[in-house]
Amino acid sequence: MGIRVQDHVEKFIFWARWLLAPMYVGLIVVLFVLMGKFVWDVGLLVIHIINPASEADHGQFILDLLGLLDLVLLANLILIVLFAGYENFVSKIDVAKESVDRPGWMGAVDFSGLKIKLIGSLVAISVIELLANFVELGTHETEGFPTSLFWRIIIHLTFVVSGVMFAIMDYISDMRAIKAHQLHADNPKSEMGSSNSSI
């Protein structure tokens, strides 16, 4: 009786992973919103360029381009979370298995690799934001160094240090797994003997 109850509980726990599926579908909705924002910003940029009444402002043009690039990087980040998260925690995407357009990293990114890709994307987005702030700082004359920009630099450096620490921890973990595998391959008989003696 206890085994049957345990089986039902474990099946229910395993089924619970599907509760994440609506969240990933919600990320697709966010992608549509970002696409609409991107198209709107591109339209405004084109109107600004072709409008003869508007003054040629090189700095503002660069800021608008950086804003578009920021949206693209954010969409890439969402797509990484969507694909890797769904395959790691919900189910394999079988419909993409035979597709020639299947990304090379899809299905090969585990939870550890997902963390590295996430922090890498955050660093890239932070770089774009910082670059936009520096361009704006050069375009508009300001007295002194803005406090908000100082804190943006601190946050960016925090992302960078966090990414390096994640990579170091993953490297140490991988090296330990490789050494354990080599030790097991070199001394399979000794491990069997120790297990038999313990029995």
Question: Could you tell me how many residues make up the chain?
Answer: 199
Q: Are 170 and 110 in contact (CB under 8 A)?
A: no
Q: Are 115 and 81 in contact (CB under 8 A)?
A: no
Q: Are 103 and 83 in contact (CB under 8 A)?
A: yes
Q: Is residue 15 part of a domain?
A: yes
Q: Is residue 194 part of a domain?
A: no
Q: Is residue 199 part of a domain?
A: no
Confidence check: pLDDT of 74 > 80: yes
Backbone φ and ψ for 119, nearest 5 degrees, come out as -65, -35
Q: What is the three-state SS of 35-92? A: HHHHHHHHHHHHHHHHCCCCCCCHHHHHHHHHHHHHHHHHHHHHHHHHHHHHHHHCCC
Higher pLDDT: 92 or 115? It is: 92
Residue 123 is predicted with a pLDDT of 80
Q: Is residue 195 part of a domain?
A: no
Q: Is residue 82 part of a domain?
A: yes
Burial state string for 20-31 with b = 16 or more CB within 10 A and e = fewer than 16: eeeebeeeeeee
Domain span at 181 = 2-187
* Cβ within 8 Å of residue 9, ≥6 positions away: none
Q: Say how far apart CA 59 and CA 135 lie, in whole Å.
A: 7
Higher pLDDT: 134 or 143? It is: 134
pLDDT digits (tens, 9 = 90+) for 20-37: 999 999 999 999 999 999
Q: Is residue 198 part of a domain?
A: no
Q: What is the mean pLDDT of residues 144-172?
A: 76
Q: What is the mean pLDDT of residues 121-150?
A: 71
Q: Is residue 193 part of a domain?
A: no
Q: Is residue 100 part of a domain?
A: yes
Total domains in the fold of the chain: 1
Backbone φ and ψ for 103, nearest 5 degrees, come out as -60, 145
